[in-house]
Amino acid sequence: MIEVTDLGYRHHARSPWVFKHHSLSLKKGEVGAIIGPNGRGKTTLLKALLGLIKPQQGSVTFAGLPAYVPQGTDTSFPYRVRDLVVMGRARTLGLFASPSREDYRLADEAMARVGIEALANRRLTELSGGQRQLVLIARALASQCDILVLDEPTSALDYHNQNRVLAVLEQARNDGVTVLFTTHSPQHALAIADSVLLMFGPDEYRFGPCDEVLTDQQLARLYNIDIRTLPFEHNGQAHRAVVPVFGSMA
Amino acid sequence: MTSQIAPALMPLRVRGGVWWLLGAFLVAVMLVSLSTGNYQVPVNHVVGILVSSWWPVEVTWTPVEARVVELIRLPRVLIAALVGASLALAGAALQGALRNPLVGPQIVGVSSGAALGGVLALFLALGTAAVIGSAFVFGALAMLIAYSMARVSGNSSPLTLVLAGIVVSAFCSALVSLLTYLANPEDSLPTIVYWLMGSFATTSFDKVWVVGGVLLLAGLPLVLMRFRINVLSLGDEEAQSLGIPVERTRWAVLALCTALVAASVSVSGVVDWVGLVIPHFARLLLGPDHRKVLPASMLMGAAYMVIIDTLARSLTSAEIPLGVLTAIVGAPIFAWLLRQSSRRGALHD
C-alpha cells in the first residue's frame, strides 16, 4: 500500500515548487503509473516519495518495504549480474557482513522471476538496455520488497523488451507487490495500471482510475498535441490504442 | 569474462587457487628480498635463520648472516610489506567508496597532510616519535578539512570530495615547499628531502608495530566492509535506495583509510602510486568485486612494495628513494593497465 498526501518539493527554499499538493494512493497489489512531459518532475516525485530527497511538504506512508529501480545504473565497476542482484539484500546485512548462501538463493530466485538466470555470470557492461533493466528489477525483487517503485522502466527498450518488463511488473503485482512506475507511454499505463497520475504542472495533477483519467482531452492537454485513444479488440478483449496525431497542436 | 590474464595464470582452477598463488608469491618475494643486498645471504640460510627462532635447526649460516637478516633486513622487509598492504588497501577502498577508479590515497588530502606533518616535525628537529605522531595528526586533519569542505547540507558527493582533496593537497604541498625552502641546508634540509621521497632505510621493529597495529585495527574493519563498499560504489542514491546509510559508511571508509595512509607516510615518507596502481592490478586479475579486490590488493601491494624496496637498496650502491622508484615503475605500469582494462571492459567510463 502507498499513501501519498499533499507532497511538495522544491530544490531550495526560494526556487519554484517542482510539484506541490500531490496526492495519490494505491492499495496492495495495485499498479499505478505516473505520466508527465519531460522535466515535469516525475523522477523527482519518485525520489521524494522514497525519501531519497526530502520533500518540504506532505507525508508518505508505505505499508511494507519499498524498493527502487532507477532508470539505469552507472557504476565504474562492471560487477557480475548475480553480484549486482544480491546487493538488493544490502538492507538486511550488517556493516561487516557479506551476503550469505541464503541471500544468494533469494537473488537467484529473483533472477528466475524476471527470467534472467542465464545472465547470472555476465558483466553488466556486456548487457543490452533491456537486460540491464531486468537486472535492476531483479535486484529490487531480491530485497523481498512489498512495493516496487520504478523510474521509466521501459524507456529506450524495443517492443519485445517493453513487453517483457510489463509482464514482469504484472507478475509482481499478481504476487501481491504494489507497483508504481513513471512512463512516457500512456499505452503502458493502459496495459497494466489500475490508476494513473498525470502531472500537468507544479500544482496541477489528476489522479484516478486509468479509464477515467486517460482520455483524449487530458492527454492532449498534457502533451499539447492531439491524441486519440482508439478502441479495438484483441482475443475478444476490448483495448484502447493511444495514437498521437503528430503535426497537430492541441 | 574476468580477464585474459586470469586464465593464463589459472590452470589453478582449484578453489581459492589465486589466493594461494598470491600468498606464496608474497612469501617468495620476502625471502628473496631478505637474501638480497650488498651482503648476499643464500635463501636457504635465510629460511634457516627465520625458522631457528621458533624451531631448533642445524646452524649452517654465519653469525653475521643471522644479524644481517634478523636485525637489518627483517624489520625493513616487514615494514615494506605492511606499508604496501596498507596503501594498496586504502587505495582500493577509496576507489570503491568514491566510485572513481582513478583516485588514490593522495587524492583525499591524507598523503599531503601527513607529509606536511612529518616535514614540520623534521623542520623543528623533533624526534622520530614526533615525526610519526605529527604525520598522523596532520594527515587526519587534512582529510577532515577536505571532508568538511565537501560536505554541503549534510551530504558529500564523491566528486566534490575529490576536488576538495585536491585543494587541500595543493595547500599542504605549498606549505611543505615553504618549510623546505626555510630549512637549514646544513642539517634539516637533506633529512626533509630524503624523508619526502620515501625510504625504509631507518626502520626498526618499533615502526613495524606501529604500521602493523594500524593495519590490524583499521585494515581489518575495512576489509570486512567490502560488501558495503560494493554497494557504495553504485552511487549515493542507488546505495541509499538499497538501504545503506551512505554518508556514515563513506565517512567510516575515509577515516579507516586515513589511518592506514597516515601510518604509512609517518614511517616511510610519501610513497605515491602504490594505492592507485595495485587495485587496478587486482581488478584485472579478479574482476571488480571489492570482496576480492580488497584482500588481493593487500597481498599484491605488500609484494610490490617489497620488490620496489629491494630494488631501491640493491640496484645501485646508494639507495634510490622509494617515491622515485614507485613513480618510475608505477606510471608506465598504470598506463599499460589502463589500456588493458579498457580493452577488456574491466573498466568503463
Which residues of chain A lie closer than 8 angstroms to B96, CB-CB? 77
- Euclidean distance between CA atoms A234 and B36, whole angstroms: 82
User: How does pLDDT run across B5-24, given as a tens digit for each residue?
Assistant: 554 444 445 567 889 999 99
- Euclidean distance between CA atoms B294 and B53, whole angstroms: 32
Q: Long-range contacts of range A244-250, CB-CB < 8 Å, 24 or more positions apart?
A: A249/A224, A249/A225, A250/A220, A250/A221, A250/A223, A250/A224, A250/A225, A250/A226
Q: Are B285 and B5 in contact (CB under 8 A)?
A: yes
The pairing of strands A147-150 and A178-183 is: parallel
Element (DSSP H or E) covering residue A230: strand A227-234
Who contacts B40 (Cβ-Cβ below 8 Å, separation ≥6)? Answer: none
Q: What is the pLDDT along chain A (250 residues), one digit of tens a residue?
A: 999 999 999 998 899 999 999 999 999 999 999 999 999 999 999 999 999 999 999 999 999 999 999 988 777 788 999 999 999 999 999 999 999 999 999 999 999 999 999 999 999 888 988 899 999 999 999 999 999 999 999 988 899 999 999 999 999 999 999 999 999 999 999 999 999 999 999 999 999 999 899 999 999 999 999 999 999 999 999 999 999 999 887 6
User: How does pLDDT run across A185-243, given as a tens digit for each residue?
Assistant: 999 999 999 999 999 999 999 999 998 999 999 999 999 999 999 999 999 999 999 99
The interface pTM score, or ipTM, of the predicted complex is 0.90
Cβ <8 Å between A78 and B345: yes
10 Å CB burial of residue A159 (0-12, 13-18, 19+) is exposed
Neighbours of A39 (CB within 10 A): 9
Q: How far is B88 from chain A (nearest CA, A)?
A: 17
What order do you get walking across the sheet with A31-35 strand by strand? Answer: A66-69, A147-150, A178-183, A31-35, A195-201, A204-209
The class that CATH gives domain A1-64+147-215 is alpha beta
Residue in chain B nearest A72 by alpha carbon: B238
Cβ <8 Å between A90 and B287: no
**Stretch B157-175: mean pLDDT:** 90
Residue ranges covered by each domain of chain A: 1-64+147-215, 76-145
How many A-B residue pairs are in contact by the CB < 8 A criterion? 87
Nearest to A87 among B101, B230, B249 (CB): B230
Cβ <8 Å between A77 and B288: yes
Quote the number of domains for chain B.
Answer: 1
For chain B, percent of residues with pLDDT exceeding 90: 50
B343 has a pLDDT exceeding 90: no
> Which CATH number belongs to the domain containing residue B268 in this structure?
1.10.3470.10
Q: How far is B13 from chain A (nearest CA, A)?
A: 17
Residue B345: what pLDDT? 54
What letters, b where the CB count within 10 A reaches 16 and e where it falls short, cover B278-289? bbbbbbbbbbbb
Residue B12: what pLDDT? 47
Q: How far is CA B238 from the centre of its chain?
A: 30
The range of the structural domain enclosing residue B323 comes to 5-343
- Euclidean distance between CA atoms B290 and A77, whole angstroms: 9
User: How does pLDDT run across B219-272, given as a tens digit for each residue?
Assistant: 999 999 999 999 999 988 899 999 999 999 999 999 999 999 989 988 888 888
Cβ <8 Å between A76 and B348: yes
Cβ <8 Å between B240 and A52: yes
Cβ <8 Å between A95 and B225: yes
Residue B348 lies in a domain: no
B107 has a pLDDT exceeding 80: no
Q: Are B228 and B247 in contact (CB under 8 A)?
A: no
Q: Which residues pair with A181 in a beta bridge?
A: A33, A150
For chain B, percent of residues with pLDDT exceeding 70: 92
Residue B341: what pLDDT? 67
Rg (CA), chain B: 20
